[in-house]
Structure 1
Amino acid sequence: MKKAVCIKIVLSFLLSLISVLNCGRIGDISGGSTETVNARVSARVILSDSSAVSGAAVRIIPSGQDPLSSGALIYKDTTDQSGFFSLEVKDKAFSDGYYNILVSGNEKCHFTDSMMIEQRSKIELQDLMLKDPGSLSGTVIFEEGTIPDTAYAVLVGTDLSTVVVSGQFTFNNIPEGFYTLRVITDNAGYSASNLPVAITSLSSDTLDDTLRIPVSRVLLDEFEDGDMFLLNNRADINEGWNSFWYVFNEKDKEPLSQIIPEGLLVQDSLPLAISSEGAYSGKSIHLKTVLAQRSSPFAGLGCRITPDRNRYSNLSNMSSLSFYMRGKGTVRVSFLTAALNRYPEDQRWGTWGKYIECPDQWQEITIKSSEFLPQEYSPQALDSLFWSDVSDSVDFLQFVTSASAGDTVEFFLDNIWLTGVDAEDLM
């Protein structure tokens, strides 16, 4: 008798333990699996006469997802004979967020936009009614006016995409709703073009305006208070945005006499300021100094393009560098690259740049990447290295001016852009 009681107690304990272990799991109603279900969405799919649609394809897709992105998530199900579906998401990568629901069947379709789905949620929707689809066509060109050889049009948050052929694209079978139309290209140096569009049932729309795929551009700096500056490789001022600037002057033992008092951001009598006085837009950077009493004196300022000292920026796709400038004298605009590391330490000099004359008034200056040449007699020049040989590992951008000993040199800079690259190339 005691033995039977003990067996019952043990069995009761085991059943309780199994119950606890299964707590927090939702059974798979389609197959009896105990795999964890992260979310469940249920609804009935009908036609306009309220008749059920069996065999309709159901897709749940993250609202902001590009259908051509790698690792795109699509959760699928099919309606049963009564038009019902109960889509269970068991993907471990699932997270709270907004999702779109697309349904297609009987040559009709439905679109539910930006529905919030949270983990462990069970959502029962009202009937989803299928309607006749619409279509959309358009023309695509590059920003400079040429027809792209490779481009794609997609509707964000769906599984709908099409190839752009000879600058033309067409979408058929689009459910009624509001979308973001995105056009992208494999060509380097361009960004995606986005346009909101509205599709109605049975519509056959053509975009009024031509879609232009823009050249990608990165604003390196527009110079506001709070940028970081270095003096003799020593950090002195506040943290910057995505770059920091340094000042250099081949000075002699005498202190510099020309100092800009307003907005002075650095010490050691180095006259660098970010000031609204005489600025192009908002505030500009202003360098003014007296050159040292020595042969071939020079002064200038530079920027480490990425703040990570252990990494270089990839400017292989850069088509041009542009900036606003005014001042006086000649300035060499140049890049330092990792190519210098190939040479012995005593030969690590030389930059890739171009000489320009400072305009008296504010002017936008654009330098094409093909115009950046190695410094004369530098190791890079003697080895006949081209910009394409070194542009994948760029460290610094510099603006250097020179004149006679004792002369005052001065220039202003603002809004420096790198065209043809994106932010990822700089990090």
Structure 2
Amino acid sequence: MNLTQLLNKGIIGEPAFLLGMIALFGLLLQKSPVEKLINGTMKTMLGYILIQIGGMAAGTSLSNLSAMIQQGFQIIGIIPHNETVVALAQINYGHEIAWIMLIGMIIHLCIARFTPMKFVFLSGHHILYMASMMASLLVVTSFASWEVYVIGGLCLAVAMSVGPAIAQPYVKKVVGGNQVAVGHFNSVGYVIAGFIAQLTKSKKVENDSTRFKRLQPFFQDHMVVVAVFMFLLFLISSIFVSPEGMNELFSGRHFIVVSFIQAIWFTAGVYIILAGVRMLISEIIPAFQGIAEKVVPKSIPALDCPILFPYAPIAAIMGFLLSFLGGLAAMSIFLIYQYTTIIPGVIPHFFSGGAAGVIAYTVGGRRGLVIATFIHGMIITMLPMALVPLLTGLGYIRATFADSDFSIIGVLIHYLVRFFTSI
């Protein structure tokens, strides 16, 4: 097995395996008994698999929603969708991606070991995404292969270390301490959402007991609230789709039935994600203490953004909806001024917008949540426009990288490379 297969299809290609091995290593360092080794390792892997299963269920529902929106409004454009771009990048630059990931992880661990940035980035799929973007930007330059590996690896390591660090002040407010960080390349988006929420938060203390006393029974079970919101969203979207379009998408099923079933699929996915997050956190944090004590002292695990959802589930769903509305507003601006249209990707808005919603609500209450996540949605929809012309090595495709960090880092690397190659 060569290096590309080992990293892309082995250790990093299976994040559940990577996290399970990290948990096992941490428990071994703590000299835990055999039963704890087995339970901790298996439950860590099971927690992540539950997150994946929930993500696939919710993602399927969101993909159908995206198709309904495109069908209903007859919009053709570029959709920020990491998986689509990465699949093409791996075909063209698989060898370079593997080396960038390997060098990047080594440098990243050195940064965690010897600098104040003690974050260990554990979202393997996002490491792959960022390495794929690095390769796509650098291979088309005049750099030699080894220079591409080193520069790409260094940039990846810095992104893996700085991203969690800049978002941590807001993540700390959500989780109540430094026991965990967010390893998800939308760090700039989270910082913007938190900052705007701080500026726009209500000056008086919010009192829900009088204003929402009559509605409170309906909000006791947040899964029911999620299902109702998603049903309404699907129902409204289906109104704009022609009968022929609905027949093509859903094989002739009635639009009310489609809206209800898709809302339930999405809600079930969110429920499984929350269950997986709780299981993963309960096992990986204690196991990680062994690594923190022996290998990288005082290190903090940086995990994927759904770890924030259980702290404010309703705010996560509202963050998704408001972020997506902000994305639609940004798309409307593109259409008005006849720019290349960026169609908001529903899946990035769900994960990034949801996490931004939890942060915004924690920092700024309801008003901060509404304003911050709407602006967040506009920003993460507009930013990919700057990245699209830089991905010429992948050819013309109707997709680009989602989330704020990809666009910002991609543009910075492009101009730095152009500056140094012109000297």
TM over 0.5: no
TM-score relative to the length of structure 2: 0.17
Give the structure, 1 or 2, with the largest relative contact order (CA under 8 Å, sep 6 or more).
2
Identify the structure with the greater helix proportion: 2
Structure index of larger Rg: 1
